[in-house]
Amino acid sequence: HRKPVNMQNLDERLNTFARVQHPIDHELLAKAGFYSKGEGDEVICFRCGGGLKDWDPEDNPWEEHAKYYPGCSFLLSEKGQEFVNTIQLQERKY
């Protein structure tokens, strides 16, 4: 039996991308709190549990995290409220 993985750990999150072809840089995703479940390009935040899929190569993992899961405490602690607010109120493509 493998020892249970702890997704709070950046390296553990990064490891989940080892056999995944993802349009976004794996390290950027892992740093933004995401790990891969191994299904397509879907990723999950270890803290808030929010998932994201259908990535575009231009997407920024932190910005997408802030757009869909603005209440995530990992996001807020790493990027701060001002960042989240800016993303929430920025000019959107409606």
Partner 1 sequence: MCPGRQNCETKRDQARKLVKDLESRGEDAFSAFLEGLRVTGQQNLLELLQKTAPRVHFHPGKSTEAGYPLIQPHPLSPDEGVKGPEVRPRRDSIQYYKMDARPCGLCLIINNVEFEPKTELSIRKGSNVDCDKLEKRFKSLNFVVEVRTNLKQRQIKSELSALSRKDHSIYDCCVVVILSHGTEVSHNRFPGAVFGVDGNHVSVQEITNYLNGQNCPSLQGKPKIFFIQACGGGEKDIGFEVSPDEAKPSIGGDGDQTDAIPISSSSESLSTSDEIDARATLPTPSDILVSYSTFPGYVSWRATVSGSWYVEVLDNILKKHAATLDLTTMLTLVNDEVSQNSAKGLYKQMPGSFNFLRKHVYFQTSE
Q: Which of 12, 20, 31, 67 lies at the binding interface for partner 1 (CB under 8 A)?
A: 67
Tokens 């999950």 identify what position?
Answer: 44
Residue 83 in contact with partner 1, rule: CB under 8 A: yes
52: tokens are 């994201």
- Smallest gap from Cβ 7 to partner 1, in A, equals 15
| Residue 18, SS3 per DSSP | coil
Tokens 């995401």 identify what position?
Answer: 34
8: tokens are 């709070």
5/63 with CB nearer partner 1: 63
Q: Pattern of binders to partner 1 over 12-51, x per CB under 8 A?
A: ------------------------------x--x--xxxx
**Angle at CA 83, nearest 5°, toward 81 and 84?**
65
Task: Note the residues at the interface with partner 1 (CB under 8 A).
Answer: 42, 45, 48-56, 58-60, 63-64, 67-73, 76, 80-94
